[in-house]
Chains A and B, each alone.
Chain A
Amino acid sequence: MKLLKTLMAGAALVVGLGGMAQAQEKTKIGFVYVGPVGDFGWSYEHDQGRQAVEAEFGDKVETMYVESVPEGADSERVMTQMALDGADLIFTTSFGYMDPTINVAKKFPNVKFEHATGYKQAENVSTYSARFYEGRTVIGHIAGNMTKTNTIGYIASFPIPEVIRGINAAYIAAKKVNPDVKMKIVWVYTWFDPGKEADAATALIEQGADVIMQHTDSPAAMTIAEEKGIYAFGQASDMKQFGPNARLSSIIDNWSPYYIARTQAVMDGTWTSTATWDGIAPGMVGIGDFSDNIPADVQASATALKDALASGATHSFTGPLNKQDGSVWLAEGETADDGTLAGMNFYVEGIEGDVPQ
């Protein structure tokens, strides 16, 4: 349906252009989403960014998007179609689009590509991501304070560095305030499957978790947490409406400023291939309001932590830290470099279980 709409809009545009050849050409921007725009999580926030671009530039841009695009060969087809439709800039918004983006970019050297959360750049491919782990540190701090069973449940998607980084960041922060804390991790191998996410949440609660974190895209776990009377955090979006009592806080992705800046760069002809990785300070990662269920002193310490992360006074990964096998990773006071973080494939000391290979 959406694709059809896009195609029809494209056809209408071609017809329209014929009539007014001298009219200024619009900048066309494509977005490829991994889930539906109505997931109220990851893809929803990217679409908010798209709408912000439209609101900012009005008639000067035309945006198109295709939602629920599977990672892999199918995404290559969608990107190719967008490039053929005359897109000037294409945002591919999931890790699994990395190689397809590089492949399609080779075929269309004049089209600019922006791939989210990946690490492969090219002449016409930029990468961008948010330092979600800074947000994980803040909610890990809250979770460590709030858990009564000393068990935090974590619904993980795929064993990629971004997800592992989030688990480590949350665990380190929780452990700091609660030395007895344990983290139980369930890998669901999907970004979006509300039924499975709900089942994973139920399984974690069965195993004693009373605070749930997730790295999947739907608010299903939040709904289950609300039902079972435990706590959870909004992921990517605020998700408050899904768990008014369960939601403690949230990590909110805010892509709008970046999308607007990159669109402007294409219009001005100043676009270059870059690798952006922004955190709390520039506002790409937002922390949602704190719930009244969080005691005032924890709210205060969480706010202080957030400010310290923003100012750079604190880093989520500050030594002394050991890897899971007990070997030294960071010495006292040392902070992790971006290279290690970007390729992180190990748990820190204290987390049980193995990273799936």
Chain B
Amino acid sequence: MDSNNTTWTEEIKAENSLMSINFKELWHYRDLLLMFVKRDFITFYKQTILGPIWFFIQPILTMAIYLILFGQVAKLSTGGAPKIAFYLSGIIIWNYFSDALTKTSNVFKDNSVMFGKVYFPRLIMPFSIVVSGLMKFAIQFGLFILVVLYYTFVHQLIHPNWWILATPLLIMLMAGFALGLGMIFSSLTTKYKDLTFLLTFGIQLFMYATPVVYPLSALPQKYKGIVMANPLTGIFECFRHGYLGSADFQPSSLITSTVSIAVLLAVGIIIFNKVEKSFMDTV
């Protein structure tokens, strides 16, 4: 047996270093990511009567509730922007974020049957979730654009500016944040189910720590610091600044968001990669 001169294509070991992420393998499985996205797309409409219309109904109804609750009853400021456009912008980007976070944080639980029977780089799964979420986001974003066009040209109430070009970056940041946080939660919940409960109401509370239903400018000075620490704040403010032209956006907050999200995403990927190798024994 001349096993000494054999070069091994792979070694399966008990211990793996933290950084052992096989990017080559991930790249090999890129088609799988597309197939998962396609699967989500195909299966979403199956056996529903209204199909994609559901994507519109949900944000419109939510917006109506916000209009009454936050706009009429609580009389929260929208920083001068038309209420409908303001709430809609908050709802669609928050929806994308919270859906992506919830789904990625359940990735091990939801796919344990498949993960238990076949190997592929598990990172593909959370990535496919945030990409799939973009379909729904794109449709709702279309609705938002119609509203923006209406207020820009019919009422001339808002003045979009060049910051709208930052939209792809904002989406990527949001996806990265949801992915990073979701992967950390999914890794921990395989063993400690308690965190699932924490996450469920945590997301609800987190929405109020994010400028979804109010602009940052409307906050009292003493709370501003806390909300500014939220990486989503810069994203929401930039998005609204670009499309609605509302003031009080500091580009520096976007840099803070980018850095903190990059760190979170890296931590998420490392933890996820560590847990994926043995989660089947604990889930």
Q: Do A and B come from one complex?
A: no
Interface residues of A (CB under 8 A from B): none
* Chain B residues within 8 Å of A, Cβ to Cβ: none
